[in-house]
A and B are shown apart, each in its own frame.
Chain A
Amino acid sequence: MNNCEYQQIDPQALSTPTPTPTLPPRPAVEEERTRRKWEVFPGKNRFYCDGRFIVAQQSGVLPLTLGLILVTTVLFFVFDCPFLVKHLTVFIPAIGGVLFVFVVTSLLQTSFTDPGILPRATPDEAAYIEKQIDDSGSSTYRPPPRTKEVMINQQVVKLKYCFTCKMFRPPRTSHCSLCDNCVERFDHHCPWVGNCVGKRNYRFFYSFIVSLSFLTAFIFGCVATHLALRAQGGRGLIFALQESPASAVELVICFFSVWSILGLSGFHTYLVASNLTTNEDIKGSWSGKSGAEDPGNPYSYNNIITNCCSVLCGPMPPSLIDRRGFVPVEESLQTVSTEMELPMLAAKKEINVVGGPMPSQLPPLLCLAGSLPSTCNPPQPD
């Protein structure tokens, strides 16, 4: 009946007053307003609109990215489009508009969508895993690198233990130190979008960079055409630039962006086609550096089309962190005894007892499960 560390009811422990600074006010505090889970989220993320939108702690250069795109496009529409519509075709601002909408929507979705954050292990779960590790190894000394090996498609893959999240990371999951979260299918943390890029928002990120390459190339081409048309008849480029100085600004921005964004799009197209992440590519996880035998990527379907489809058009996984769910208010002694064992986790105790056998908890629990889809849609800028 006794678990190794987490005794649920121990009358003697109940009577000791010492390790429970939060215990006495608990019954009085039960009347406090119910809080949403995003308010007690342990990672370094910020939430807006009552948990609908999630961003990393530092928004990085997201305002700069947005600003650059907006400024360039607005200048394009105001200074170049009238001339081009008159001399060429009305489709130019139409195409520009569509591309702009795509770029901004994908950017905002990449920034505000949960990238695939894994919620941290509950204390019971962490204790269970620790017990299993200790049972198999020595009980006095903890070996520092805790790894577990699994076979995926006849290949050995090592799963590392995450000391922050207290669990063995699933394959392809990595812990982002900037956001302090484990993210599934972690690609990289992108400062330009101010968020991690992972399983859930990779498709938005990819469509952002692809549409942005088209947009910058399109604006670059149109501005160059505009200046060329103005410079016709021997009047020269300087004259054209003097007539339309905004075009010079756009040219400079687009010229420098096009190379980097096109390069990035090409790189990510390669990653999508081989079902790799930036993290794996940089670390050379599957590059077969040991000997001539190339182990290959165990997640790849060995078919470019299947890889692309599974990465970009696969089913949209749900958000696992349930930002807008309510933190259940525990009422019984069982969770109080859990608190005693872990006084330092007092602030996060509500998350830990979601699955517990509380009398009032089961119906809300099932309601939470039922309401999950409506709360976990990818956030949209309304």
Chain B
Amino acid sequence: MAETHNLQDLQHQAAVASKVYVQRDYNSGTICRFQTKFPSELESRVDRQQFEETMQTLNNLYAEAEKIGGKSYLEGCLACMTAYTIFLCMETHYEKVLKKIARFIKEQNEKIYAPLGLLLTDPIERGLRVVEITIFEDRSIGSGR
């Protein structure tokens, strides 16, 4: 509760100083994966290991969404046999994991990033191209930036 209050206060008081974009990592092909390299702009704001852990968890979640295995084949075959009308009533595995990712990002924002003056944007809002990190000015601290 305190963290949520903090997040909303942040939005009311703070101004956006800059935005950092973490790009996609295509080394393993077209699967959804983001670079885990720590952006230099965040050096003074957040712990490197914490950030890398967040990105790694995010990548693992996307890998789970796109995993090709027994369950996805079953879903695909069932969909094909019903002429894909099954998508009307059933939520796909990918969509379920996307909801999980949205919850994860919200939780990370509330617990870790908002108190540090940062905001992670869910990549789905940016077409799964980038992870947008908004850096807020630290007016409340009065650092005189």
Contacts and interface: CB of A to CB of B under 8 A. Distances in A.
Interface of A: 1, 3, 8-9, 101-102, 105-106, 109, 118-119, 121-122, 124-125, 128-129, 150-153, 157, 159, 167, 170-172, 184-185, 203-204, 207, 298-299, 306, 309-310, 312-318, 320-321, 334, 354-359, 361-362, 365-366, 368-370, 372-373, 376-378, 380
Contacts of A1: 17-18, 137, 145
Nearest to A129: B21
A313 B73 CA distance: 5
Given A125-B21, A366-B106, A380 B87 contact: yes
A3 B134 CA distance: 13
A357 B136 contact: yes
A362 B7 contact: yes
B87 A378 contact: yes
Given A122-B126, A157-B26, A357-B11, 20 more contacts: A105-B85, A118-B127, A119-B126, A121-B129, A128-B21, A170-B30, A172-B30, A299-B29, A306-B68, A313-B72, A318-B95, A356-B134, A357-B14, A362-B8, A365-B121, A368-B125, A369-B98, A372-B98, A373-B92, A373-B99
Nearest to B92: A316
B80 interface: yes
Given A312-B76, A313-B76, A321-B127, A357 B29 contact: no
Chain B interface SS verdict (over half): mixed
Interface of B: 7-8, 10-12, 14-21, 24, 26-30, 65-68, 72-73, 75-77, 79-80, 83-85, 87-88, 91-96, 98-99, 102, 106, 119, 121-122, 124-130, 132, 134, 136-137, 145
B58 to A, nearest CB: 14
B125 A369 contact: yes
Contact of B124 (A125, A151, A369): A369
A101 B83 contact: yes
Contacts of A109: 84
A9 B17 CA distance: 9
A306 B72 CA distance: 13
Nearest to A298: B29
A118 B129 contact: yes
Contact of A313 (B11, B80, B95): B80
A3 B12 contact: no
B136 to A, nearest CB: 7
A174 B78 CA distance: 30
Contacts of B27: 150-152
B80 to A, nearest CB: 6
A370 to B, nearest CB: 6
A321 B76 CA distance: 23
Nearest to A301: B68
B131 to A, nearest CB: 10
A207 B80 contact: yes
Contacts of B19: 124-125, 128, 355
A372 B79 CA distance: 20
